[in-house]
């Protein structure tokens, strides 16, 4: 499994919106500038994650995007599944129930199921708020004389 730039940039976009959640609606051009990502690329990513449950949208002057929920409600897994699709490490686990004709006799299926569980549990255990907290810890330990 490899996370694409769309998945990584979608996560950065959501973190940016969380960091600036007190600033109202945020224009994509501002996110693009701060994150060093082209606005055109963000315009390709936004439709993947722009659902009423995740983002609020405002068009026109002072338009843009903002989080629909507090940052602790968004998990890394949630965001990556929207951009990457299924995160299963093998094709037979991409559908549930597993419809592989060899599933009953597959000697390695338990390995892939375990790996899938570890990946899913890990990515779903990290929230956008966790990322913000970790980021601020790094800044608080950065002493300059």
Q: What is the pLDDT of residue 62?
A: 82
Fold (topology level) of 5-140: Arc Repressor Mutant, subunit A (1.10.10)
Question: CB-based contacts of 92: which residues, under 8 Å, 6+ apart?
Answer: 98, 99, 100, 103, 106, 109, 112
Question: CB-based contacts of 19: which residues, under 8 Å, 6+ apart?
Answer: 132
Q: What is the pLDDT of residue 138?
A: 72
Cis peptide bond N-terminal to 97, omega within 30: yes
Answer whether residue 1 shows pLDDT above 80. Answer: no
Distance CA 110, CA 132 (A): 35
pLDDT bracket for residue 129 (50, 70, 90)? very high
Q: What is the pTM for the complete model shown?
A: 0.87
Structural contact between residues 74 and 67, judged by C-beta atoms closer than 8 angstroms: yes
Residue 50 — φ and ψ, nearest 5°?
Answer: -85, 80
State pLDDT tens for residues 45-94: 999 999 999 999 998 888 899 999 999 999 999 999 999 988 889 988 98
Q: What is the pLDDT of residue 100?
A: 86
State pLDDT tens for residues 10-49: 999 999 999 999 999 999 999 999 999 999 999 999 999 9
């Amino acid at each position: 499994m490899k996370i694409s730039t769309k998945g990584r940039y979608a996560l950065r976009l959501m973190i940016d919106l969380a960091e600036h959640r007190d600033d109202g609606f945020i224009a994509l051009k501002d996110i693009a500038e701060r994150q060093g990502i082209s606005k055109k690329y963000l315009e390709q990513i936004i439709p993947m994650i722009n659902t009423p449950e995740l983002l609020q949208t405002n068009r026109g002057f002072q338009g843009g995007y903002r989080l629909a929920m507090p940052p602790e409600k968004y998990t890394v897994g949630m965001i990556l599944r929207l951009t990457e699709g299924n995160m299963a490490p093998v094709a037979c686990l991409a559908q549930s129930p597993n419809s592989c004709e060899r599933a009953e006799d597959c000697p390695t299926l338990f390995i892939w199921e375990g790996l899938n569980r570890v990946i899913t549990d890990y990515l779903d255990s990290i929230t956008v708020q966790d990322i913000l907290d970790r980021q601020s810890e790094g800044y608080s330990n950065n002493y300059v004389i």
